[in-house]
Chains A and B, each alone.
Chain A
Amino acid sequence: MKKIVSIVCSMLIMSVILTACKKTPIDNPQPVQQELITTIRLNVTNSSGFNKSFNYKVLNGFNSSEPGIKLVEDVELLPATEYNVEVTVLNEADTPAQNITDEIISENTEHLFLHQSLPETGAGSIAFSDGNKDDNGAPFNRTVKFTTGAAGDGTLIVTLKHQPTNKNANTPDEAGGETDAQAIFPIYLK
């Protein structure tokens, strides 16, 4: 019986020692949202002095049971006009807000901006041209020329793809890879 008691006691002491000496503070976990994007911003300019920004912003969404809060600005442009458009990507959940665009430019061979217009032609549509290229000379399309169609309403979808399998694609499905961010802007040409 003495042996049993000594065995159990020695084990107990061992476990207490091990428990005592490995103290990790676990009561204050500080996880972060990895590489969060909240906002896609279109900076639209043209030779006639037009200069406006339009934001598409989703806060939340991940890591909460609440649906994302979506803030979208209407894109009002003139029909049958050319505009130069530059896309910037931000994380506005952090203060100060982080501009992620430079990161994406430095990884431009791994990224692709896609611009889609609904309808594709006619009233309320936009045609895209002169998208800029990545370091390998493949499409990157962070800066692009918009040519608006006839007066009307439409939709513009801007998608940022990560590691696309097809850099020459015109739609997200053709591009493959992973969707990093997608903005859907209402378009009003009048």
Chain B
Amino acid sequence: MKYVLLLVLLYTVVPAHAQQDCKLNINVLVVEKHTGQPLFPVVVHIDELNATYETNEKGRVELGSICPGKYNFHFHSDGYEHYAEQVTITSSTELKFKLSHIEGVLDEVTIADAREQTLLQAKDGMDSKQIAANSGKSLGDMLQAVNGVTVISNGATIAKPVIHGMHSNRIVMLNNGVRQEDQQWGGEHAPNIDPFLANSLEVIKGAASVKYGTDAIGGVILVEPAPLRATQGTDAELNLAGLSNNRMGVASAMVNHNFKKLTPLSIRLQGTYKKGGNYRIPGYWVANTGVEENNYSAAAAWRKQHYGAEVFYSHFNTNLGVYRGSHTGNEADKLAAVNSDTPLVPADFTYELKRPRQHVEHDLGKAKMYLESSLGTWHATYAYQQNFRQEYDVQRVETDRAQLNLTLNTQTFNLNLEHRQIWKLKGEAGFDGIYQENFIQNGDRVFLPNYRSKGAAAYLIERYRAHDWTFEGGLRYDYRWYEAFNPEGSKQQVVRYEYHFNNLSGTFGATKKLSDKWQLSTILSNAWRAPQANELFSAGLHQGAARIELGNKNLQPERSYNLNIESKNTLGKKLSTEISLYTQYIQNYVYLEPGADLLTISGYFKTFNYQQTNAQLSGTDLSAMYNWNAYLKSNFMASFLFARNVTAHDWVILMPADRLSLSTTYTRDISPGLKECYISADAKFVFHQWRIPANFDQVDFPRPPAGYFLADVSVGTTLEAGKQPLYMSLTVMNLFNQKYRDYLDAFRYFINQPGTNVVLRVRVPVSFNNKKSS
């Protein structure tokens, strides 16, 4: 807190003479080399700004608030040579770039901008700046900055993203272009991805099966690393973070290199280490909630003009504790814990992890090749993933053994052709294959059956772009086969089950530019999801919830039909707004219905059966950005969700409450060595969730917690010592040490959410002179 005051004083004492430096306006014009015709759409990527733009119909991009310096521009456009140029900018100017046409070449989105073209779907995300400002958080927690995304959590250590009320196996995560398969079906199974890998996070809200395959009912999260170096030399970046609440330290480093003697080859090495102890809620330590994580990854790419290949390998390894008091022996134990105002398990601070705890390792290996031919650009991607998950339960007898050793092996293959423009149609077609095995070790806890799954799919997506209209349509056919081996009865005889699912999904969207400042999109999309092994076969105690969940072998696939209308509007220089309205009808929506109480030797448990109904989830995400002046900016976000069980004419249980947030940032350069100093205040208000089903009290106790208000403040600056920048920031989360509980937190029965957390972050990018290049 002292530091905050000190910095605030600095702001008021230091005469702020505004820097004229970073006020340059650059007009970029891109034309055809021979005819001089303006080109649109051209993707313009600027390395130093780490930003991607698209030219308008006049072939222009306007860049404001640019600092003098050297910039590497990359240009991609359908049917034109990929073009890169380094430009030194000293004053406001117009820059003209000429692209030459080549026969039979499509945009190779792979080379400089890692962002694949996605559907015209409601998209939102976080850029590298926002990711850096949230470093040290888990991926799930980080994504809460995106409007319409919330989390389902187990205290402060396990957080999973929820998009428009859907999570776990209704969301697909793409880690570096590969479907992450990490047993994401469990509420306490956080995504096994290192957020430091990400240069951008993109969230596609709403059904998106056509491009991303099955399960993408709620949406898709794309974790995209920065592209590998395209120019010679070496660069590196070091990220450090310290968090006061659980005394956590985080260090992450990345090195990129492009060889001088072997220009097509670029490599990257990256690693992260993170360790934290018990976290603190107002007044108490929370027993056994430490976390340790170490991750590393390596990537290499070989890129020639018209073909290339890349390999990527990442390893994720985490150990995390689960609050001892969240595991209760029966319904009566749970009620006693719920009715206690204080945590029933006392604790001090420690880094030590005891049972119950989890250990997860996720390995991902990927090989990708691309090739430009007369038809278009071909991509072939093969990936192998292994997820190994161990759960250490509380045991009567001392043992080193984990009570659950789950292994999930997944192989995925994708072949994709982005065909060259035919008439005014541009698009892609492809084939997807998946093979998966999930199995336990003999002697493990009875949990869910071993299963095998195979799937194949073919898809086609076409885009038609006219003057101010863009239309897009897509179709996909999926086939999925499952076999499961379920031990049943008192003799635990293995019974084999076989399932076949096949589905057609589609999407259609249109975007109209009503003016330069106003764009309107409408998207109809569809997705499906096959029931998962846990929904079909569960027959055991869910320890974290002290309840017994019973699978249903007759579940049908879920199908979702999604309509999304989005308006993006810039009103003058000061205000811009985004309004998104969505409604999604889900046929055969799988949910848990309370059943009879079950007597065991430990006493009574509530039981829940997997059932299906039809549901309709509708809502809106609103955001507005207002620039008060050159330095002061405000950003307002609101999201509302109405989730109805259509069949029962009732609300759907366990849906995120409505929320509002407002953040205001003041940014100013103070001196040449002290740039982009900012101070920001964020306020978030989450409403009480009153939309609960009529039978709520039979299902759950207590009722959803009260609404809450949270305030965060943050100060940060860029220090420039010579040519070496250093970014640092200090953030105070939950400034007022607010006691609150969140409806989607599994620990809400037992304990409050974390108290104040002071986070210090330092980021040092290092650029080496290329003389030492090998």
* A residues in contact (CB < 8 Å) with B: 1, 3-4, 7-8, 11-12, 14-15, 18-19, 22, 24, 26-35, 37-40, 57-65, 67-68, 70, 100, 103-104, 107, 110-111, 161-163, 165, 172-173, 176-182
Contacts and interface: CB of A to CB of B under 8 A. Distances in A.
Contact of B446 (A1, A11, A31, A100): A31
B599 A67 contact: yes
A104 B396 contact: yes
Contact of A27 (B409, B485, B492): B485
Contacts of B407: 24
Contact of A103 (B396, B541, B550): B396
B229 to A, nearest CB: 24
Interface in B306-356: 307, 324, 327-330, 332-333, 336-337, 344-346
B411 A18 contact: yes
Nearest to A179: B329
A163 B445 CA distance: 20
Contact of B367 (A11, A34, A64): A11
B352 to A, nearest CB: 16
B415 A172 contact: no
Contacts of A24: 407, 409, 437, 439
Contacts of B602: 37, 179-182
A3 B371 CA distance: 8
Nearest to A174: B336
A171 B85 CA distance: 77
7 contacts: A3-B373, A60-B490, A68-B598, A165-B344, A165-B345, A172-B332, A176-B344
The 7 closest A-B pairs by CB, nearest first: A179-B329, A61-B600, A178-B329, A26-B439, A30-B442, A26-B450, A173-B336
Given A26-B437, A68-B599, 14 more contacts: A12-B413, A15-B382, A24-B409, A30-B442, A30-B487, A31-B446, A33-B445, A34-B393, A34-B395, A34-B403, A35-B395, A61-B601, A62-B600, A103-B396
A39 B407 CA distance: 34
Contacts of B445: 31-34
B1 interface: no
A132 to B, nearest CB: 19
Given A8-B380, A29-B439, A62-B540, A172 B550 contact: no
B506 interface: no
Contact of A178 (B328, B438, B550): B328
A107 B395 CA distance: 10
A37 B384 CA distance: 41
Contact of A67 (B487, B494, B598): B598
* Interface size class, chain B: 35 or more
A29 B435 contact: no
B380 A58 contact: no
A40 B601 CA distance: 9
Nearest to B602: A179
Given A31-B445, A33-B446, A179 B332 contact: yes
Given A11-B380, A26-B485, A178-B394, A31 B599 contact: no
B382 to A, nearest CB: 5
A178 B603 CA distance: 11
A3 B407 CA distance: 36
A28 B369 CA distance: 38
Contact of B369 (A7, A22, A61, A177): A7
B444 A32 contact: yes
Contacts of A26: 437-439, 450-452, 485
A39 B602 CA distance: 10
A31 B394 contact: no
Contacts of A177: 329, 333
Contact of B327 (A64, A178, A180): A178
Interface in B354-405: 367, 369, 371, 373, 378, 380, 382, 384, 393-397, 403
Contact of A35 (B329, B396, B550): B396
B392 to A, nearest CB: 11
B449 interface: yes
Interface string B430-444: 000001011110111
A58 B396 contact: no
B446 A63 contact: yes
Contacts of B330: 179, 182
B446 A32 contact: yes
Instruction: Report which residue of A7, A24, A37 has the largest number of chain B beta carbons within 10 angstroms of its beta carbon.
Output: A7
Interface string B534-578: 000001110000001010000000000000000000000000000
B439 A64 contact: no
B33 interface: no
Given A35-B397, A38-B601, A179-B332, A29 B485 contact: yes
Contacts of B329: 161-162, 177-180
A59 to B, nearest CB: 8
Contacts of A180: 329, 396, 602
Interface in B714-768: none
Interface in B633-675: none
B397 A31 contact: no
Contacts of A19: 411, 435
A31 B447 contact: yes
Interface string B596-625: 101111110000000000000000000000
Nearest to B449: A29
B439 A58 contact: no
A180 B329 CA distance: 6
Nearest to A178: B329
A163 B394 contact: yes
A173 B452 contact: no
A11 B451 CA distance: 25
B496 A27 contact: yes
Given A27-B450, A68-B598, A172-B333, A179 B603 contact: yes
B397 A103 contact: yes
Contact of A182 (B327, B393, B447, B603): B603
Contacts of A178: 327-329, 333, 394
B457 to A, nearest CB: 16
Contact of A28 (B413, B447, B451, B494): B494
Contacts of A161: 329
Contact of A7 (B371, B443, B452): B371
Contacts of A110: 396
Contacts of B333: 172, 177-179
Interface in B278-331: 307, 324, 327-330
A13 to B, nearest CB: 10
A70 B395 CA distance: 25
B304 to A, nearest CB: 12
Nearest to A24: B439
Nearest to B496: A27
A178 B437 CA distance: 34
Nearest to B596: A67
A67 B595 CA distance: 11
Nearest to B327: A178
Interface in B127-163: none
A61 B598 contact: yes
Given A27-B496, A38-B601, A103-B397, A4 B371 contact: yes
A107 B489 CA distance: 32
Contacts of B382: 11, 14-15
Nearest to B331: A179
A58 B599 contact: yes
A26 B440 CA distance: 8
Contacts of A37: 601-602
A161 B496 CA distance: 38
A103 B769 CA distance: 66
A38 B601 CA distance: 6
B397 A107 contact: yes
A29 B371 contact: no
Contacts of A165: 344-346
Contact of B600 (A8, A30, A35, A68): A68
Nearest to B494: A28
Contacts of B599: 58, 61, 67-68, 70
